Amino acid sequence: MAPNSIDPAEVAKFQAMAQEWWDPSGKFKPLHMLNPTRLDYVTAQIAGQFGRDRAEAAPFAGLDILDIGCGGGLMAEPMARLGASVTGADAAEGNIAIAALHAAEQGLAIEYRTTTAEALAAEGRRFDVVMALEIVEHVADPQAFIATCRDLLAPEGMLIVSTLNRTAKSFATAIIGAEWVMRWLPRGTHDWRRFITPDELARMTHDAGLRVVDRRGMVFNPLGWNWSLSDRDLSVNYLLTALRGTASPSSS
């Protein structure tokens, strides 16, 4: 049996909120606000790697994309609209039920499954792109999870991860601000001790035999009430892109 990176307590948190995935004013309001910015980053990285023109009608046609920890499908649906063949996987059955229903209502063909990254890898599934967005800070073993994501990549495949940095600013913003003050998320949604610094994540990807090609911050502007990408500020939310090539995992 394949090892499992799932933390049951973390899954239960999101299972309890599953009904609110598509409510932009509900408990997933922060993700709805963030989604256009991370979507812009993800599509730019994919287009650049695979030589696609985002201005075309279906620029990602022919690409197999996995959204691991897909939640209600906030990123899976745009990928499908861009022409990709999309698989959405989540350990929380309630999330998958909501995601599948919403996709059907939108007329989108997305393969949604209640499963784990390890189970998909054991099946021999391989993808051009694996998206692991806002999930690595919730898994039981981040290093093992990144290694499994590598196993899910086709040769020259791309892994895109987004997560939270472990800084005083991220505690003030993501815990005190988002959970305690604004109450955008239930208290306890995030555990600051499980946040991962960009250098730690880069080391994990390197040790898994992946090559980091980009890191970018996502910065919230309280005056404009919007998000933007930053080349310099990775102090709270950030994204990392890595490629699978011929390098072997580090033995260190």
Feature table: binding site for S-adenosyl-L-methionine: 38, 69, 90, 133
Count the neighbouring beta carbons within 10 Å of the beta carbon of residue 103: 21
Radius of gyration of the CA atoms of the chain, in A: 17
Contact status, residue 59 vs residue 47, Cβ threshold 8 Å: yes
DSSP helix/strand/coil, 20: helix
Known binding-site residue numbers:
38, 69, 90, 133
Beta bridge partners of 216: 239
SS (H, E, C) 161-203: EEEECCCHHHHHHHHHHHHHHCCCCCCCCCCHHHCCCHHHHHH
Residue with tokens 């800084």: 167
Q: Give the N- to C-terminal CA distance of the chain in Å, as an integer.
A: 26
**What is the full DSSP assignment across 104-120?**
HHTT---EEEE--HHHH
Record the tokens describing residue 20, joined without a space: 């609110």
Please check whether residue 54 is in contact with residue 60, taking contact to mean a CB–CB distance below 8 angstroms. no
3-state secondary structure of 248: coil
The Cα–Cα gap between 95 and 251 comes to 37
Residue 38 corresponds to which tokens in the numbers above? 């991370």
Contact by Cβ (8 Å): 199, 166: no
